[in-house]
Amino acid sequence: FKGTVTATAASFASLTGGFSISKAADRLTVAAAGVTAFVGAGDTGFGVTNGSLGVVVDINSKKFALVANGTASLSGIAGVSVSGSGSVRLNRLGVPVLETISTPAGDVALNFPSNDDVTQLSGSITLDVSGFVGISATIAVEKTTTASSTTLIVQASAVTAFLGTGADTVDTSDDMGVRLKNGSMDLRIQKDTASGLSTYAFAARGTAELVGISAISLSGTVVAQKSTLANAVVLDFGTTQTTDDVTVLPGSTQFGGSLALAIAGFTTLSGNIGFEQQTVGSVTKIKVAATEVQAFLGSNPDNLAASGDEVGAQISNARLGAVFYRSAAGNSYALD
């Protein structure tokens, strides 16, 4: 049996595609190619296109398990784009499912090793946030709906984010900027039911690294955040550990944290350090602003602060301004 169908799966995802159905004992198996799956509200949400679909349906219970794999996309959020691969996974059978279904677009593996209900959109994506920062991550998406709004909760692991220039090429040797690595991300996309307006807030947190300026290194935890919401939101990164929560204020755009900036052969500066990118023509600037700066210039044999063996000058509660430059002449920097 063959045809084309549009269906809604467990009020989570809508799916469209050409399909074929076969029956064996008390189960139906559905295989499809050219599938489009969408998780969201109206025109706002995550999509999987050009996909393949495998479904197992229990005839007696009318319950099912499905997997749809394809190309990931995001629609309805101005300035935010997604590329990569995505997968919609649902299991309502209440039993493990380990089955491979052949489709014209390739095999689809239904791999549900436990009895648990599964409702998931996941993928390996690259996310561009309004030209502010580029993010690569492995994501999982959850959808919640109330009378007033629909919210997509996107949480990610293995996050890499970059503020700078050169990341659009495969060659990392031309990169110059600040990289967030080994990170996590929390993104909330909210669509208001009455107005149809879609807004978002996101934060990514990870280990800081300065690339492209050989004489300077950066260490500590850096946070990237941006919000178009009208209210503050607390992002928990999918954990119950509240000490790691990030409060994102309405309209905020920030990249920074409590960091240490080491200048080779000179000194190490620590404080609250923020970064901003500006590109004019062929020249890219990474502007650096720091407050509550602590620095020591001199001899400190044990490398411990306030241990009594220091000889030199201590700077406290200072401010710092710096610029990292990328131009045709190469990379350079200036501190003030």
Dump pLDDT digits (tens) for 194-246: 999 999 999 999 999 999 998 899 999 999 999 999 999 999 998 888 988 99
Q: Using CA atoms, how far apart are residues 244 and 280, in angstroms rounded to an integer?
A: 36
Q: Check whether 169 has a pLDDT greater than 80.
A: no
Confidence of residue 10 (pLDDT cuts 50, 70, 90): confident
pTM above 0.75, yes or no: yes
Contact 128, 80 (CB under 8 A): yes
What are the structure tokens assigned to 298, written together?
């001199």
Q: How many domains does the chain have?
A: 1
1 occurs within a structural domain:
yes
Q: Check whether 2 has a pLDDT greater than 70.
A: no
3 occurs within a structural domain:
yes
For the stretch 120-166, pLDDT in tens is: 899 999 999 988 899 999 999 999 889 999 999 999 999 999 999 88
Q: Which residue in 278, 269, 283 sits closest to 321, CA to CA?
A: 269
Q: Which residues of 262-283 are buried (b: 16+ CB within 10 A; e: fewer)?
A: bbeeeebbbbebebebeeeeee
Q: Is 281 left (phi over 0), alpha (psi -120 to 50) or beta?
A: left
What is the predicted pLDDT for the residue at 99? Answer: 92
271 occurs within a structural domain:
no
316 occurs within a structural domain:
no
DSSP run (H or E) holding 49: strand 44-58
pLDDT mean across residues, the chain: 90
267 occurs within a structural domain:
no
Residue type at 297 in one-letter notation? L
The residues near 320 (Cβ < 8 Å, ≥ 6 apart) are 261, 269, 271, 273, 288, 289, 290, 293, 335, 336
For the stretch 52-97, pLDDT in tens is: 999 999 999 999 999 999 999 999 999 899 999 999 999 999 999 9
For the stretch 264-293, pLDDT in tens is: 878 889 999 999 999 888 899 999 999 999
317 occurs within a structural domain:
no
Q: Using CA atoms, how far apart are residues 170 and 162, in angstroms rounded to an integer?
A: 14
Chain centroid offset of residue 233 CA: 17
Q: Using CA atoms, how far apart are residues 230 and 114, in angstroms rounded to an integer?
A: 41
Confidence of residue 312 (pLDDT cuts 50, 70, 90): confident
309 occurs within a structural domain:
no
Residue type at 318 in one-letter notation? A
Range of the domain at 90: 1-120
79 occurs within a structural domain:
yes
